[in-house]
A and B are shown apart, each in its own frame.
Chain A
Amino acid sequence: MANDPMHQFQIERFAPFAINGIDASFSTASLFMVAGAGLATLFMTRAMAPKAMAPGRLQVAAETVYGFIHTMVKDTTGEEGVKKFFPLVFSLFMFILMANMLGMFPYWFTTTSQIVITATLALIVFSTVLIVGFAKNGLGFLKLFVPSGVPAPIVPFVTLIEIISFFSRPLSHAVRLWANIFAGHVLLKVFASFVPMMAAAGFVGVLGSVLPLAMTVALYALEFLVAFLQAYVFALLTCIYLNDALHPGHH
């Protein structure tokens, strides 16, 4: 189906392969994840290879991205957060950005439009928060769930609410990225498929098909913004969540 807006999200297995009945084949999704990670690595290593005092264009681009994320991590988690989490946040940001941008090529696959992948990324962040929180604060991390200054009788209720709020984070974290990218790509495909549909309707249709085409171009620009913004928002929320692991009890 050429006009099926869901067709673009289909995963093809290149090399069927399973471990204990769990499908672990190398697929389109794997290919574009490798491509995204590879592109991010290539970009950073190639751009920074000259290590020039007066940087060239590529180096300026790499340094800008680096400085941008560095400032964000420092502002939200402080110096300690930069030491502990900057590599993680920067890798996540670069990977999501590259995956989103690769997905902007027509007929290419967008890895972040699969909820499995965004959920995995969100769970990486979530388990990092748990592990670092307990490793650094011990049981003091549980103070996160008991806000100070709450009257004793309602503490159990507030704690229950805080726990649910805490566990809702990976869900909203994953769904936000996935839904934005997924909905954007479906919308693009729907508007793009209007063009041949209208053009098939004769001369008036060909003239009229300019409208959905213009809409597609405008949406494409918007999707580039969304692709960057969602990578940024994902990294920003990662920082906010990681900050809780370092300083539980400060809301």
Chain B
Amino acid sequence: MADTDPPPGGAPNDTDALRARVEQARAAHARKLAPRQDTSAASLAMRFGGEFGAAVLVGAGAGYGVDYWLHTNPWGLVIGLTAGFAAGVVNVVRVARSYASANPVDPKAPSVPDDADD
């Protein structure tokens, strides 16, 4: 971590060593205190739904707007809604990725070979 390094120039003395230790302890403490992002499954589900729905709405709205101004009925709406849907899927994938990287799978999780319990 960059801020645990002693300041450049000047021999590291006791104060610097103490500062480094304080920084280290603080960082460790902060990591322990940092709230897990989106702790409840319900809020995660709401985020998924919100991101997906927002993209679909924006896509359809933009398509409808294009139709309205350029008189391209109904192609703006069709393309806008399709693209909005795709953008929604992209949004959901991004949220899921960030959630998965923040909550990695336990490597010691049991792996049952298929049909082992049938």
Contacts and interface: CB of A to CB of B under 8 A. Distances in A.
Interface stretch (A18-26, A130-138, A167-175, A212-220): A167-175
Main secondary structure of the interface of A (DSSP, over half): helix
B62 A233 contact: no
A165 interface: yes
Given A161-B86, A168-B51, A168-B91, A176 B46 contact: yes
Nearest to A167: B58
Given A71-B30, A171-B58, A176 B50 contact: yes
Given A175-B50, A229-B43, A165 B55 contact: yes
Interface string A170-213: 01100110011000000000000000000000000000000000
Contacts of A229: 39, 43
B82 to A, nearest CB: 10
A168 B37 contact: no
Contacts of B88: 168
B37 A164 contact: no
A194 B30 CA distance: 43
A179 B57 CA distance: 16
Given A160-B83, A161-B83, A168 B55 contact: yes
B62 A167 contact: yes
B87 interface: yes
Contact of A162 (B43, B47, B87): B87
A175 B51 CA distance: 10
Interface in B1-57: 30, 34-35, 37-39, 43, 46-47, 50-51, 53-55, 57
A175 B54 contact: yes
B84 interface: yes
B76 interface: no
A187 to B, nearest CB: 13
Main secondary structure of the interface of B (DSSP, over half): helix
Nearest to A79: B2
Contacts of B86: 157, 161
A180 B91 CA distance: 20
A232 B51 contact: no
A37 interface: no
Contacts of B94: 251
Interface in A77-99: none
Given A229-B43, A233-B38, A168 B57 contact: yes
A236 B37 contact: yes
Contacts of B62: 164, 167
Interface of B: 30, 34-35, 37-39, 43, 46-47, 50-51, 53-55, 57-59, 62, 80, 83-84, 86-88, 90-91, 94
Interface of A: 67, 71, 157, 160-162, 164-165, 167-169, 171-172, 175-176, 179-180, 229, 232-233, 236, 251
Given A165-B90, A167-B58, A233-B43, 5 more contacts: A168-B54, A168-B84, A168-B87, A171-B54, A172-B50
